[in-house]
Structure 1
């Protein structure tokens, strides 16, 4: 979800105004995803590299996350949405961790769809952590190194119990993955759109799904 800052700059507004509109886009797109029958929607809300931003902006982003959880949880529950969080989110402020824990607990039994929020997430760190856990199991004799294949490795990732990633969309005209779901995106369809995230809506999502449906997915075959 990229382009909040540029959206605000174009309107001579502070960056926080762009982030607030970005939250509104999250609401729109999450509802549209349910309407369009998407099984799992994963949103890259805060990367492990975002800590490099000014302290005030990080504080504002965390405040918006608190507001989103407080204001949207009842709707997620009523709509049967299951909330998941990936990344090192337990490294966030204790009150925010408590809010996330409570939100996950309230939705864990919901039948779906699933809304995944990536918080303090970095794909390289995820892959390294998975490799480290497998190495530890091999060293203590509980895992035969020859048994480590793609499926066994994927079982150590944060997305282990989720379906394969089909479509990865990046907004705002940037053409890079920025450390997001690198392993999972191996055979995903990639779509880069010029729309700034605060302007992304149901029509934009539907258009992305239409473009996805026109692609031929061969997975290395003919």
Structure 2
């Protein structure tokens, strides 16, 4: 009986690994049609008897403003091009902050957020964190940095039922993501910590302060150079 159980566990683990690797290879080239969070939000809308909103328009990296690519990196993960999926200093800072009990601060990189958004569920747990680490390792090894950022920008939540930069750009500024100005890009990046609460346009004083900070970081950071990392 015990042997059967262990055999079942081993087989299940083997096929889960095969399936996960296959999915990562598939999404290396194929657009991600939907994420677990999109499905969860739709179920929440249905249960709360709200209007069903699900806007998600995938666009290639060439059709995403360089301003927006830079704004998101400067806002979320300035070491994105240098690390291999994990920013240990940021994780340590988040751990120390959370120990004080004043709130919850994340130390996740863009790679980790991409792994979570595309393959996992949003609720925090040790199981999810472990799987997030596993998928982050996979996408860092199998995808390029350009692909990771492309998938991230097309998958993240950017408003109530709004997913990805094209839908966000049309929703907040009535224009395609390829035409976003520096300040508009910074405005979208500024709401990422809580996109269902914050507004990119018109921006509140708090969001305006974040926009100004992000724009300064963009000027200081300079252009994104993916070639040295791929």
Q: TM-score, normalised by structure 2?
A: 0.26
Could you say which structure has the higher helix fraction? Answer: 2
